[in-house]
Amino acid sequence: MENLTMEKVVNYAKNYGFIFQGSEIYGGLSNSWDYGPLGTMLKENIRNFWKQKFITENKLNYGLDAAIIMNPNVWIASGHVASFADPLIDCKKCKARHRADHLISEFTKGKETADGWSNEKIEKYITDNKVVCPTCKKSDFTPVRKFNLLFETKIGVVDESKSTVYLRGETAQGIFVNFKNVERAMRAKIPFGICQTGKAFRNEVTPGNFIFRTREFEQMELEFFCKPGTDLEWFKYWKDYCINFLYLIGLDKEKLRFRDHTKEELSFYSKATTDIEYLYPMGWGELWGIADRTDYDLTVHEKHSRKDLHYLDPETHEKYLPYVVEPSIGLDRLFLAVICNAYNEETLDNGDTRELLKINYNLAPYKINVLPLIKKLHNEKAEELFNMLSKKFPISYDESGSIGKRYRRADAIGTPFCITVDDETLNNNTVTIRNRDTTKQDIVNIDDIISYIEEQICV
């Protein structure tokens, strides 16, 4: 929908039970969000879609579910303890706190990203270009400081024996430390990938834009291990794979673009990195990061753990540290893109507004809504149908209000099919199936409902 605002998305998500403010009855906790009944279902469907395409249907990849709290040496080795930090700056006039790199990209409307710049370079740019504070419009800032994003906690019972551990800042490290386990247990041969979905935690300086940037979020990551020298081919393979995944899930092509990182932005260990960006209501934002990480991760873990992480090619007998290509996407950011992309408002002939979540059928929380036309006449048969169909699909049941209102509610949450039970059902064993997008109605025999629906929801 054109002119969709984030405010509208937040209200919609709350009203229909997708996302609530976290700890709301206590006044909330800033930038924390709880997924409601429909949000939980939609999120699970998106996660399952990713798992289906990246694990089940791709014979190169395996799944993993590593612990959130890991040995702290993992984070020392990976470099997160020393340098997983954002540049922080405060406005001396109004005391507003900003991420200094974001200040520059907002000021230049995205022309400069300041990714990978030193503190000195950021400060000089802000002074030379008189970048202003978005809150008070003055240009008077403190020096830039680095702020580490890892959340610390303690394990152990007694104070003296407690030791510092970290909530994982990304799921990727759980994969790197299990590279050898998966290779051995699965008799995996290079090239192969390991996929993981799960929560990650970052003490973000400036969270915001609803679920776009939060301190607790879910990632879906693939670390793909390949022979050095083949990495750029695989980088291209996964770039194509990821963008096609987003088309398949239903995002509009014109709202997606690649943004290649410049040499200056690239991490020192990366040969190539690109972001797939989506046009959110607040503007273009990173949805998926795809990086050629070379052998950096395995090298540092080999050094710190003193375990041999080399791969021995069973055919050529070559021994090498594999290179890694990593497509990493935030599930919450994809959820937000899916909702923003699918939300629509249509004006009907009678002047009413029809809210419509035109979502991929596979992602819809409920596939079917069963409706008895007249409660006291058709309830029994409709419940029988609900019991039969709910064994096969996630479905809902709605018996209150006019049939038009019930259609509207189903359209608004993206339910693809409404099945109405009426006198024809009792007399002829047929139901009316209404399609969400076309509003076209088909008469279908009860015995054929499952194949009718299955034909339309299989990807």
Nearer to ligand GAP, 202 or 381 (CB): 202
Q: How far is the CB of 361 from ligand GAP (least distance, A)?
A: 24
Nearer to ligand GAP, 30 or 456 (CB): 30
Q: How far is CA 55 from CA 64, 165, 294, 413, in A?
A: 10, 31, 22, 28
CA 66 remoteness from chain centre? 19
Nearer to ligand GAP, 286 or 384 (CB): 286
Q: How far is the CB of 424 from ligand GAP (least distance, A)?
A: 49
Q: How far is the CB of 286 from ligand GAP (least distance, A)?
A: 5
First to last CA, the chain: 25
Query: Is the separation of the CB atoms in 264 and 286 below 8 Å?
Result: no
What's the DSSP call for residue 271? S
Q: What is the dihedral of CA 411, 4, 110, 149, to 10 degrees?
A: -60
How big is the chain by its Cα radius of gyration, in Å? 26
Q: How far is the CB of 151 from ligand GAP (least distance, A)?
A: 12
Nearer to ligand GAP, 151 or 237 (CB): 151
Q: Which residue is nearest to ligand GAP (CB)?
A: 330
Q: How far is the CB of 224 from ligand GAP (least distance, A)?
A: 12
Cα–Cα distance, 402 to 100 (Å, whole number): 54
Nearer to ligand GAP, 165 or 276 (CB): 276
Q: How far is the CB of 335 from ligand GAP (least distance, A)?
A: 10
* Angle (deg, nearest 10), helices 37-51 and 331-342: 110
Query: CB 316: neighbour CB atoms within 10 A?
Result: 9
Cα–Cα distance, 265 to 259 (Å, whole number): 11
Nearer to ligand GAP, 9 or 433 (CB): 9
Cis upstream peptide for 372 (omega within 30°): no
Query: Is the separation of the CB atoms in 187 and 194 below 8 Å?
Result: no
> Which of these, 362, 419, 359, 367, lies nearest to 393 by C-alpha position?
367
Nearer to ligand GAP, 259 or 409 (CB): 259
Cα–Cα distance, 150 to 76 (Å, whole number): 11
Query: Is the separation of the CB atoms in 78 and 173 below 8 Å?
Result: yes
CA atoms within 13 A on the CB side of 368: 27
Q: How far is the CB of 49 from ligand GAP (least distance, A)?
A: 16
Q: How far is the CB of 212 from ligand GAP (least distance, A)?
A: 6
Please give the angle made by the CA atoms of 429, 432 and 436, to the nearest 5 degrees: 150
Nearer to ligand GAP, 242 or 382 (CB): 242
Q: How far is the CB of 217 from ligand GAP (least distance, A)?
A: 4
CA 313 remoteness from chain centre? 35
Nearer to ligand GAP, 38 or 336 (CB): 336
Query: Is the separation of the CB atoms in 189 and 203 below 8 Å?
Result: no
- Name the phi and psi angles at 257, rounded to 5: -155, 155
Nearer to ligand GAP, 259 or 310 (CB): 259
Q: How far is the CB of 355 from ligand GAP (least distance, A)?
A: 26
Cα–Cα distance, 298 to 436 (Å, whole number): 49
Q: How far is the CB of 213 from ligand GAP (least distance, A)?
A: 4
Chain residues in the site for ligand GAP (CB under 6 A): 170, 172, 202, 204, 213-214, 217, 219, 221, 286-289, 326, 328-330, 332-333
Nearer to ligand GAP, 219 or 420 (CB): 219
Cis upstream peptide for 191 (omega within 30°): yes
